[in-house]
Amino acid sequence: MSDRTRIICLGLILALALGVRASRLNNGFQQDEFGPVYAIGQRDHSVNATPAKANPLVPVPSWEHVRTRSVLPYGIVNPVPLHNYLLHGIAQVLPITEWSLRLPSLLAGLATVWAMYRLARALAGGTAGLLAALFTAIDPTQIAVSTMARPYALASLACVLSLRHSCDDRPGERRSHVHCAARHEHRRMAR
């Protein structure tokens, strides 16, 4: 398969991934997403009603407010709420809506599809890379984490990039996935 054909196929797979995920961006917030919404947004004035377009959520005043409102299970304050800081930055530019708060996860999910292509291509060739990208694009778990205002898609991307990086010691030399995984685990244990 030529490089041009491979690039076209990868583009189609990314378009498929975007289409599957984009259709879910405006669904109502799930229970798991209310934590980040609480951490970054507040009412313009005190209202005891369900949010409406007449009184939308607005960003909290500062990064410190985000940190104190970022609560882990059991009421533990999150010491470094990086994902909530990211969402607060987005809320400064875009309105606080389902699609805007899910945008980082969507982009990370698409990047994960691309990263899986790169990883599998490095390990087993271009066709394997395209298959890995396709399976990642249509995987229900990947779709779910890519359409939530939670850091799961960012964590997934970080894992794939970490494994890909551990295979880059000697460019041009193909390794088995077992070797790459073992090398990655060895580095993790050495810390």
Residue-wise burial string across 88-100, b where 16 or more C-beta atoms lie within 10 A, e elsewhere: bebbeeeebebbb
Query: What confidence score (pLDDT) does residue 42 get?
Result: 83
Last residue of a domain, one of 56, 74, 96: 96
Domain identity same for 103 and 185:
yes
Domain identity same for 82 and 42:
yes
Query: What confidence score (pLDDT) does residue 38 get?
Result: 86
Least confident among 16-20, 37-41, 173-177: 173-177
- Please say whether the beta carbons of 183 and 166 come within 8 A: yes
**With pLDDT > 90 as the criterion, what percentage of the chain qualifies?**
45
Domain identity same for 104 and 185:
yes
Count up the domains in the chain and report the number: 2
- Please say whether the beta carbons of 130 and 10 come within 8 A: yes
Q: What angle do CA 22, 25, 28 make, to 5 degrees?
A: 155
**Is residue 122 packed enough to be buried (19+ CB in 10 Å), middle (13-18) or exposed (0-12)?**
buried
Query: What confidence score (pLDDT) does residue 123 get?
Result: 84
Domain identity same for 110 and 20:
yes
**Measured distance CA(151)–CA(87) in Å, rounded:** 10
pTM beyond cutoff 0.85: no
Domain identity same for 45 and 75:
yes
Domain identity same for 48 and 118:
no
**Measured distance CA(122)–CA(116) in Å, rounded:** 10
Domain identity same for 111 and 182:
yes
How confident is the model over 20-69, as pLDDT tens digits? 999 998 888 888 888 888 888 887 665 555 656 667 788 888 888 888 88
> The domain containing residue 35 runs over which residues?
27-96
How confident is the model over 106-150, as pLDDT tens digits? 999 999 999 999 999 888 888 999 999 999 999 999 999 999 999
pLDDT at 185 over 60: no
- Please say whether the beta carbons of 109 and 145 come within 8 A: yes
Residue with tokens 């799930």: 30
